[in-house]
């Protein structure tokens, strides 16, 4: 399967800002490991999955977040 770029890359706050991952080296590592890989890889990205499920992705979620969608929702609700 040829490499693809995640369709969310242009609107992803992790990529577009320093709010999600302020460390530029770590951000670039996430981008290379998750966003610029095959569709199979970026569909496993928790940010991609969260946006697909909730319509948005909170800043505390990074690609390898181990929280489930339900746990992410719980965390969102705790902060409101």
What is the per-residue DSSP string for 14-75? HHH-SSS---HHHHHHHIIIIITS-HHHHTT-HHHHHHHHHSS--TT--TT----HHHHHHH
Taking residues 58-73, what's their average pLDDT? 96
Q: How far apart are CA 18 and CA 34, in angstroms?
A: 17
Residue 71 has which token pair? Answer: 């746990």
What predicted TM-score, i.e. pTM, was given to this entire model? Answer: 0.88
C-alpha angle 80-62-75 in degrees, rounded to nearest 5: 25
Tell me, what's the pLDDT at 3? 57
Confidence at residue 57, expressed as pLDDT on a 0 to 100 scale: 95
| pLDDT for the residue 4 | 82
Query: What is residue 79's predicted lDDT score, i.e. its pLDDT?
Result: 84
Question: How do residues 6-46 score in pLDDT, each as one tens digit?
Answer: 999 999 999 999 999 999 999 999 999 999 888 888 889 99
pLDDT band at 51 (very low <50, low <70, confident <90, very high): very high
């Amino acid at each position: 399967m040829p490499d693809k770029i995640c369709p969310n890359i242009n609107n992803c706050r992790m990529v577009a800002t320093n709010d999600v991952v302020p460390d530029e080296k770590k951000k670039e590592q996430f981008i290379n490991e998750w966003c610029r890989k095959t569709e199979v890889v970026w569909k496993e990205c928790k940010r991609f999955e969260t946006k697909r499920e909730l319509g948005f992705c909170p800043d505390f979620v990074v690609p390898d977040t181990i929280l489930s969608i339900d746990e992410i929702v719980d965390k969102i609700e705790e902060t409101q």
